[in-house]
Structure formats: structure tokens, C-alpha cells
Structure 1
Amino acid sequence: MSLFTPADGILKTHLTWDELQNGVFKAFGADAKFGPNKDVKDIGAGNGCLISPDWKSELKNVPQIFIVKICSQLSMVENQAIMENKDFINEDLIKQFENYVKQNHNVEVCLYELLKKYDVTDIPTPKIYFTQAFSEENPLNGYIIMEYVGDGTLYHLSDNISPEHMSQVMKALAKLQATGMKFTDDEKAHFQNHPYIVLFSKMLNEQGSNGFMTMLRQFGGERMKDKIDRLESVLPEVLDIKLIQEMPKSLGMEPVLCHGDLWATNLIWKNGASELELKAVIDFQNAHFGCPSVDFARIFCACMGSKDRKDNWESLLEKFYTYLEKELGAHNMPYTLDMLKKAYRLFFPLGAFLMLPMFGPTLHTINSNTDVEYKTKALMVMFEKAEGLLEDIYDFHQNNKQQR
């Protein structure tokens, strides 16, 4: 049995209702018993499932619905199935990643435990009710019971967030980095496996790179052919995975706590009358100590249109830096603002390239929608982002070469 094969549990995972009930007892107490009309709803790959417990008795201060994030590779298998090109994500790769997926789940569990230990309440995250890590005794059932942010909205690659609203993300990242600086050396040791080194060094071999370029051409068609050709001419130079690992030391930066997978669907927003409010940052399974530009490049590429990203990345980094200074107070800063900007420029070509694989599954979702008006608008946003990324990957790379 493995995480990438369907099972008889909740939503075809290995987690059964009886096993979840045991976790619920630990989270909410012995009276928190599922009723006969308990229900589960899949709310999207990577977002977990929504549990309606139908409590047998009336309970105080216990949620009537909650999220269970079940660690599984089934969504990866589904993405592989819908992609026309099988070289980028294939069955062998999925099997290789099982241990990686388990380790990442345990990283997220550890981070939530440390946020609780240090009484960190000002980083916007869902309430965590219970966590279960993988272990030798528990090889198949890693999961997290957490708050359902009912008034929240997820945005996607086909949406744009304004630079003004992105300031809230900058503030959350400043708080995350400042929190990481409180960790002991033993606690930091849990976050030393860099996800990009492990994950993409396997995915971006020659076969994977060729498969990805094929997928990119299918997405871009004739419209993006010239830009894709230009990118492909420098691709071996761009795919310098070790750059990320070596960058903090080479620039004189202290490694800081990074989210590691900060992109559009890992932010939950609340729509106000005229403002967006960042309600929660989620999915910390790729948290690690490394170069902060990993988070900035990824979130800017995913959430902002190309023009907004180009015009505002420097001012957003400057705003972030003032937030970090405020969070750290008298504590020494882990790097200078100039170092941060240089790290962003150096990492951008690789970071932006690693965002492009997400366009394939998102395009599939858009094309399956029957709302013509939505589809037209979403595709317009997607192509504007993708074309801008293709241009800037090449331009940043060439500028970086000239600066060396």
C-alpha cells in the first residue's frame, strides 16, 4: 500500500472514518462523536476535505464543520492523467516522491507545533486542532484537522491581486521570518531539506525538461512560439538548482524561514466591500531555512499581472524590509535590502520557470468551465502572465550574466 494508490478510506485515501474519529476525540474531547449523517466534501486538490460531523450531542466551543488535510499523492496522479505529455510527471516520478511527501507533511506538522510553542498568533493561519505525523508505526495516515475559513476565497493563476493587497502578504512573510529566528538550532534542523533541491533536481532532468517544454508549447501555441524558442536556447543555464542552496552563503545572507510553496492557492482572502483581507496562509509542507527570494519570486509571479509585477517588485521588497525591521526590533537583520534585491534578481529566472508547470492544470480547469465570459477573462489573464514570465525569465537571466 502507498500514498499514490486509491484505498477504501475517506475520498479514496487510507484515512478511515474510525481513525479520524480517534483524532477528533483528541482534538475536541470524548463527547465529540460523529453522528449517522456525517459527511465529507472534496474542496479541491491540496485544499483538504470539508467534514460535517453531525455531532451526536450538543457541544460547546466545537466547530460544526472543519477541514481535514489528508496527506496523499492522488492529486498528483490525477494531474499526470490529464496532462497530454507524460514526460514531466510520470508514474516512476510519483513513486519516488512518496517519502518526500511524507517528510513534507511532517515538516508542516512540526511548524504548527512550533508556532504553538512560541505562542505565535499574528501570522494568519487557520486554527490547528490536531496533527498526526507519519512514522514507522504510522506509514499511511498523516493528516491535520484544522479550521474551515468559511468566509475565505481562493484565487488562482487566472486571477490577479493588486500590489496594494500584496502588502498584506509581505507583512505575513516578515512575521514568519522573524518567528524562525526564535527557533533553537535543534528546531531549525527540522527545516533543512530544501524542497527545490529534492523535488526539481529529479523533475528537471533531460527527460523532464523536454517534457515540460513540450507541455509549454502545447499551452502557448503559435502565440508564444518565439518566446518559448528564446527561453529554450538558455534553458540549461537557467536550470541551476544548486543556485538556491548556495545563494545565501554566496551573498552573505543568513538563511531565514521560508514558506517554500507560496503561490496563489496557498493564500485565503476575504472579500470586503472595497478591500481584500488576507485571512490565512496555508500549506507549510515545504517550509525550510533558505533564501527569502524563493517566496517572493513565486508569489509575485503567481498573483500579479506581468505589468504590476514588473512595476512593483522592488517597492514591495522595500515594504517587506520595513516590516521585518519592525518585527525584529533590536535584533540584527539577517541580510540587507540590497542583498534581498540581488537575490530576487538572481533567483527570478529559475523561480519563474518553476511556476510555469502550474499553468497546464489551471488551463485544463478553465477549459472545462462552460461559462464563456469567465473563460475568456481567465484565459486573457493566464496568457498575459505566461507571456510576461517568458520574457522576463530571459531578460533577467541575460542581465544576471552581464553582472557576473
Structure 2
Amino acid sequence: MLKYSILFFLVMFMIGTDTFLIAPLLPTLQAEYGVSTGIAGWMIGAYTLGSALFALVSGPLSDGWNRRTVMICGLAAFSVSTALCGFADSYWMMLLFRFLAGVSAAFTAPQVWASIPAVMPPQRIAKTMGIAFGGLAAAQALGVPIGSWLAAADWPVPFWSIGAFSLLLAVAAFLLLPDMKPSGQSRASIFSRYMPLITNGRARGGFLAYLLLHLGSGTAMAFIGKWMADHFELSIGGIGNVMMGLGCGTLLGSVISSAVIRKLGSTRTVTSGMLLLALLYIVGPHAGLSPAVMIYFVIFTVLGVIFPLVMGLLTALNASIRGTISSLANSTMNGANTLGAWLAGLLYVHFAGYASIGIFSAVCIVLSLVTFRLGGLVTGAGSEAKQQSKPA
């Protein structure tokens, strides 16, 4: 079972690293292609746009296919499209390849979440979810320095390196993963696969709560660097160091997630964790530099505990459409983070700076908790956990 945990961690690490990779390269690529600052950001947005749009389609399609095959093909396509970014000789070609990399990620990442309950014993599901999320957390902490280090030779090197390693992961998935064929409804339409979620009150409440959770955390995340630069006069390097530390907090949370859940149970973990988040989001913007770093380290750690737990509860809603659930969760996350970034700009400029963002994030977190509890996803965690042992 360790081989699956390592594989899933590395897949999510590669996808996460590719997501964060372009941030340190943006000034170099802007100069390389001679584009303005206003449109340079689309080299990041093209990836998330492709991922968000195609996640809505990839999940339902993959529920009718062999998950092993989908993951292998997704990794291979991700490898090729990312490597091609290193050969892009124009801005528009880079946008195309980044978009295709996002599309490939939309077919790959959800298979990780959907495959874990299929290949792991019930008692190892929560821990493996935490390990896989740890791959994303590690990428958040290390993606920027990895990109900067590799780009020291030449800017295409990071893209080629990730492409080559992702191809090796595709080979590893081919050799290690068992077949995970659908149990039925292989010819069902895309819309029909969403119907069990649309008609299920717990699913509707769970996804609304998941949206609010990411909206709160995403809004706070979007302008934390801007706030630290304005309020504490930190340099870009200083902000980068802080963000690496916060990413390590998320990684720590994902590592201890299963132990915390065993100790407190799902309901108390979510309830106590989200109440703590709401309090810290309000207090954080008013603290000095060192206390603020510690506060946000705790916030990122708590999020690292909660996110894999909630993902596990969502994928347990219906064993036959785990790919659909995982993909919808991915789109929900990307949509919430995009909306959060836009709202953060409005709040920061027009409503008392980062303090207003903290209040907004806290309100979102409290509403998310209320929705989780009223919708029954968390309070019904005990019964849903039993479903995780059913075959996909």
C-alpha cells in the first residue's frame, strides 16, 4: 500500500508544482514575449481556466472508464503539454500549451482522489488522502524555489524537467496501479452522472460548504503577499520565504490530518478547526509581523487538516461516481479561488485593506461550517465512511 501513497503524493506534487511554477518565471516570460503586465497574468490563468472548465467533463467521463487508463493517459498528456511550454516561441503558443496542461491536469488529479478509496483499505483512506494532499502542500512550499532554481540555467528547463518526471510517473502508474473499471452505467450521459449529486441534499450542502470554505481561504490567500509588502515593507524575497513557511504549515497539517481525525472524530475536527480559522482570520491582520506569521502558519496547518478530510467525505457520497465528485470539487475550488481573488482586490482597495478581507474570510468559514452541519455531510460522516469500503 505504501507504493500507492508514494505514487499519489508524487502525482499531486507534480501537478501542484506545475500550477505554481510559472509565478517566478512571469517577469522573464513577459520580457521574452514582449507583452504587457496586464495580459502576462494569463500565462497563469490559462492553466487554471483549462483545469476548471474540463474538470466538469472529465469526472463524469472517467466514471465510465478504467481509472487506471485515465490516470496514465492524463499523466502522459500532462507530460507532453508541460514540456511543450519550454518550446513555446510566442505568447499565444505559451497560452495554448498552458491551457492544454490545465486540461490534462483536470483528467489526472481527480483520478487520485477517486482511486484512493478503490485501492486502499478503509482504515488507510483518510491517511492516504492526507498524503496526497501533502503533495499539493509540498508543491505550494517548494514550487516557487524549484522553478527559480531550475530556471537559473534557462527558462525552459523547469517545463522540460516536470514533463520528463511526469512521464516517469505515467510509467510508474502503468506498472503499479490495478485496473479500476466502472461497476455499471458505463454508457450513462454526463448530465445523468451529476443527478445523484443534484438530488442529494447532503451533496448539495456539502459542495456549497466546500465552495464557502475555499472562498474564505482563497480570498485571504490572494492578497496576503500584497498586505505583507504594504504593511511590513517586506521584499519579494521576504514574502517568498514567508509563503514557503506557510506552505510547510499546510504540509504539516496534511501529514497529521489522519491522526487528528482519529483523536477528535470528523465532526469535532471540522467544527473546532473552522471556528479556530474564523477567529484567526479576524485577528491576523491586526498582529505584528512575527505574530502574524505564526497566526497564518496555524491557519495553513488547520486547512491542511481539514481539506483532505472534507475531500474524503465528499468522495464517500457515492462510490460509483467518485471521478465526477472529485472533478466537481476541483472546479468548485478553482472557481472559489478565482472569485476570491477578485473580491480580495475590491475589499483591499475600498474597504479598510486586509482587515476587511479577514472579516470576509471569517464569515465565509462560519457559513461553511453551518452549511456542513445543516447539510449533514459532517454529522453523517460515520455512516458515509462505511461507503468508502465499497468498490468503485
TM-score, normalized by the shorter chain, greater than 0.5: no
Greater per-residue strand proportion: 1
- Normalised by the length of structure 2, the TM-score is 0.25
Structure with the greater alpha carbon radius of gyration = 1
- Normalised by the length of structure 1, the TM-score is 0.25
Greater per-residue helix proportion: 2
